[in-house]
A and B are shown apart, each in its own frame.
Chain A
Amino acid sequence: MSTDAAPAAPAAGADEPPAVQLRGITKRFPGVVANHDIDLSVRRGTIHAIVGENGAGKSTLMKTLYGMHRPDSGEILIDGDRIVFHSPQQAISAGIGMVHQHFMLADNFTVLENIVLGAEKLHGIGAAAARRIRELSRQYGLGVDPEALVEDLGVGDRQRVEILKVLYRGARVLILDEPTAVLVPQEVDELFENLRQLTREGLTVIFISHKLHEVLAVADAITVIRRGTTVAAVDPGEVTPRQLAALMVGSELPSPEARESTVTDVPVLAVAGLSVRTAGGRSLVEDVSFTIHRGEVVGIAGVEGNGQAELIEAIMGMRPSTGRVTLDGVDVSERGTRKRREAGLGYIPADRHRQGLLLDAPLWENRMLGHQTEAPNARGWLLNNRGARRDTERIVAEYDVRTPGADVPAAALSGGNQQKLIVGREMSHTPKVLLAAHPTRGVDIGAQAAIWEHIKRARREGMGVLLISADLDELIGLSDTLKVIFRGRFVAEADPAAVTPEQLGLAMTGCG
């Protein structure tokens, strides 16, 4: 690749074909249409944002563009030429590179090995390749050492490795799928600077996001996707965040705000001096103490990986920890997860596939999960299959779980419906305290509003909630008290009525 040879883009005349053009792209999966009639035109040398809600079909579209699957109809034009991609390999050789939302890196490989994989023909896999990587790294100020082992790298570095991977292959069009999801605000700024540097060199960036402020800050052009199709192409200079949001959602944004306080002064969960360490002795959560009262939502803000997940798992008794956990006056520190659940802890896991469901089991067995010792699922040490089945039908109706019946496996449901089932299941046992980790992650807007409503209702009825979320608006809107976690410690406390997402973001990086 030679960056010098690339035409200095924005100035190139209007008759120049777009770097990327999609016409009428439609993609179906068994049972669903993920994309239909997508139209998109991206000018060379620009940062083009594609915005849409979670589940609007952005990622499906980008997989199409990257050749990971083929569209059922429609066409892709690169630099004006119609191209059919059968594999990512072809997309790569057409100059398209993808930086995935979840890093696609082999931890046990070096940076070099990760970068040259699949592109060995360019500069081999040895010294020449390492030289080329250093060169690119210097040119774009990425600061990546080819000999480092990826598992030793931090998040920002890993992302730069991903970008290098793409540049190394001579990509002229970079697709970044939700690149800021895992970054703290300062890292986001660095990333944006890197991206502007890339477009100055004549490259084109397609930037996928649902974060409006970021999109407006960095994009040269914006395309909005809603329910699988393109609904608008707008100029960031001529649109307000409010208008953009309305385009994305198709209606008013639902508000997570909790309104009047229902906080009482009856403590229901008290955590004192809780610490979690790895087997190797590294500290993950350090001396955390807090109290949740009846009717109170305590929100924990933090960049992912700062100990939130470990904290929740420790409170659930799934992870060895030191310190004391008192639930409604009873010390449960020595109890296992089951006893804690029976004592009134509810749990909405961050990753429902990993911790919340048995995907291949029918819904009614999933309804038992986590409460297999309690009515209506069990009588003594025997299961009550009939009772569970009947109660599942109730949950399906009350929580609007869209399913043909209680006998289908959980895997057949959409993410939002799976989540509604989990929420319904946990609420059905009227927990004293609900530990909710990213309760609306990856669910559609309707389900999101419903889940918020259920949490608010339970809170009114006196439930305490520990809420973790990456969505700062959700966190601020639902919480009565906000705590900021950084490197396993509570570093700040905020009043959700007064704090802004920006202030919170700053505190989350340890600068607050």
Chain B
Amino acid sequence: MSTVLASAPAAPVAPPPRDRRFSLPILLLVIAGGLVALAAVRAITGANDLTSHGAVRAALQSAVPIGLAGLGGLWAERAGVVNIGLEGQMIFGTWFGAWAGFHWGPWAGVLAAVAGGALGGLLHALATVTFGVDHIISGVAITILAGGATRYLSQLAFQGLPGGGVTQSPPVPELPRLSVPGASVLDRVERAHWFLASDLAGILRGALTDVSTLTIVAALLVPLTFWVLWRTAFGLRLRSVGENPHAAESLGVNVYRYKYYGVVISGALAGLGGAFLSMVASSIYRESQTGGRGYIGLAAMIFGNWRPGGLASGALLFGYTDALQLRGGSQSVHALLLFLAFVLAAVGLWQVLRGRRTVGAVAIGAAVLVGLWYATTDAIPAEFVQAAPHITTLVVLALASQRLRMPAADGQRYRRGG
């Protein structure tokens, strides 16, 4: 079906800028600056939840599934396959996690979720790599299939169990949670509400205490992904398949096989993200539990410019807004407006200093508008906050799409010897 299946729509590509990555000192500087700004906003607005340990913990909780989906997207797209079926693979993960977790304990659940997601990935690989189906189409079809299959499976497996039904599973046992010993002393500092010190304490406490083991696994997967993809021969081959499969083939790399690796691992990671949803974030499987997180993961990956560190920051950012909202903190979310104004102003000034007046002026103008918004209102509608990750993604894509660099052969169909 050629009309539909020709290569993915090509976006106008501008020549990439020379300096593609921030150097480490600059990165640290930006992080530190952000922290100070956040602390200042907290001090000014009195929205103490902005940097409370609870908010940070909730942010991590929200960020992990997004990040895992994003990592999944990264593995597939680095191998040149767009995996829009992440959502479907995540759905498989939520279901299989809860199912195996209920029967054989939490770790069996994790394994089953990974396997279920990998199965979804395998299906996607089969369709896109072996049969040459367009990546987007296959992904959509898998997501449709996942929704249907899990509902049928629930009917079979959960109906009649205590608390179970067509749309949800019985309660699933929890995974262990860990704390760094002694981290609770941070409590006193946090509660003192000192500028910066209390903020740091809150953040550290949130990140170091009562952390699910799966969160730790997810956090470790980020550097692990980087190491495998950029520091091993396996990763080099996998990436080569996404950059120039014909070159890879000419050097004896089995392109199909590496695409399969990438997509199956992608599905497995999405499945793990699903397990997190049904076993850590809540303790049952519910239909539509993924709520589009597969897509937000994809968005986080794009936000992160197809790199693990970038996508992790994207996931954290989205998780953070999500968490503030979930904690019912209309005040803290409102305070974020002020933070946004600060950031926009800083970006604007930076651009002006670099001689890019128009961009700078636009950013500063936006900063003023956001500041006015903050000043004239008391709360942001909940719906708006829930849409924040999606709006952010659109804005980032609109403003930075010229600077983003996706794998050169991403989304293209590849035929051996073609």
Contacts and interface: CB of A to CB of B under 8 A. Distances in A.
B248 interface: yes
Contacts of A108: 243, 405, 407-408
B251 A69 contact: no
Nearest to B13: A279
Given A68-B417, A88-B250, A278 B240 contact: no
Contacts of A98: 250
Contacts of A282: 15
Given A68-B417, A117-B237, A360-B2, A87 B252 contact: yes
Q: Which of B244, B405, B407 has the most CB of A within 10 A?
A: B244
B232 A280 contact: no
Interface in B211-255: 231-233, 236-237, 239-240, 243-244, 246-253
Given A117-B240, A279-B14, A100 B250 contact: yes
Contacts of A92: 251-252
Contacts of B405: 108
Contacts of A8: none
Contacts of B240: 106, 109, 113, 117
B164 to A, nearest CB: 49
Given A88-B249, A108-B405, A120 B233 contact: yes
Contact of B251 (A119, A151, A280): A119
A135 interface: no
Q: Please tell me the size bucket of the interface on A.
A: 20 to 34
A117 B2 contact: no
Contacts of B248: 106, 117-118
Contacts of B14: 279-280
Contacts of B376: none
A68 B408 CA distance: 23
A88 B251 contact: yes
A108 B251 CA distance: 17
Contacts of A278: 15
B244 A106 contact: yes
A89 B252 contact: yes
Interface in B18-44: none
A109 B3 CA distance: 32
Interface string B404-417: 01011000000001
Interface string A80-110: 0000000111001000001010001111110
Instruction: Tell me the dominant secondary structure on chain A's binding face.
Output: loop
Contacts of B12: 279
A107 B252 CA distance: 18
Contact of B247 (A114, A151, A360): A114
Given A278-B15, A280-B15, A125 B236 contact: yes
Contacts of A87: 252
A348 interface: no
Contacts of A121: 233
A113 B252 CA distance: 15
B390 to A, nearest CB: 28
A69 B417 contact: yes
Contact of A118 (B232, B237, B239): B237
A135 B106 CA distance: 54
A425 B253 CA distance: 42
Contact of A120 (B2, B236, B250): B236
Given A120-B236, A278-B15, A104 B247 contact: yes
A100 B243 CA distance: 17
A132 B251 CA distance: 18
A293 interface: no
A165 interface: yes
Q: Which of B232, B236, B237, B408 has the most CB of A within 10 A?
A: B236
A503 B44 CA distance: 76
Interface in A114-169: 114, 116-121, 124-125, 151, 165
Interface in B118-171: none
A117 B417 contact: no
B50 to A, nearest CB: 39
Interface in A246-305: 278-280, 282
Q: Which of A87, A104, A121, A282 has the most CB of B within 10 A?
A: A104
Given A88-B250, A88-B251, A106 B408 contact: yes
B400 to A, nearest CB: 15
A96 B14 CA distance: 38
A104 B253 contact: no
Q: Which of A69, A118, A282 has the most CB of B within 10 A?
A: A118
Contacts of B231: 125
Given A125-B236, A360-B3, A118 B243 contact: no
A105 B252 contact: no
Contacts of B15: 278-280, 282
A168 to B, nearest CB: 10
A130 to B, nearest CB: 14
A107 B243 contact: yes
A89 to B, nearest CB: 3
Contact of B232 (A88, A113, A125): A125
Contact of B244 (A89, A104, A125): A104
A415 to B, nearest CB: 16
A124 to B, nearest CB: 8
A296 to B, nearest CB: 36
Given A69-B417, A104-B246, A118-B252, A113 B2 contact: no
A494 B202 CA distance: 77
Nearest to A152: B18
B257 to A, nearest CB: 12
Contacts of A105: 244, 247
Given A68-B417, A105-B244, A165 B2 contact: no
B233 A106 contact: no
B254 to A, nearest CB: 8
B255 to A, nearest CB: 11
A119 B246 CA distance: 16
A24 to B, nearest CB: 23
Nearest to B237: A117
A109 B250 contact: no
Contacts of B253: 117-118
A178 B237 CA distance: 27
B53 to A, nearest CB: 41
A444 B195 CA distance: 78
A109 B233 contact: no
Interface string B104-120: 00000000000000000
Contact of A117 (B3, B251, B407): B251
A88 B417 CA distance: 11
Given A106-B408, A117-B236, A278-B15, A88 B252 contact: yes
A100 B249 CA distance: 12
Nearest to A121: B233
A119 B252 CA distance: 9
Nearest to A116: B236
A482 B84 CA distance: 53
A94 to B, nearest CB: 12
A107 B233 contact: no
A62 to B, nearest CB: 12
Contacts of B16: 151
Q: Which of A106, A279, A282 has the most CB of B within 10 A?
A: A106
Given A125-B232, A151-B16, A360-B2, 15 more contacts: A88-B250, A88-B252, A89-B252, A98-B250, A104-B244, A105-B247, A106-B240, A106-B247, A107-B243, A107-B408, A109-B239, A117-B247, A118-B237, A118-B251, A124-B233
Interface of A: 68-69, 87-89, 92, 98, 100, 104-109, 113-114, 116-121, 124-125, 151, 165, 278-280, 282, 360
24 contacts: A68-B250, A88-B249, A88-B250, A89-B252, A92-B252, A104-B244, A105-B244, A105-B247, A106-B240, A106-B243, A107-B408, A108-B407, A108-B408, A118-B237, A118-B252, A118-B253, A125-B231, A125-B232, A125-B233, A165-B251, A278-B15, A279-B14, A280-B15, A360-B3
Interface of B: 2-3, 12, 14-16, 231-233, 236-237, 239-240, 243-244, 246-253, 405, 407-408, 417
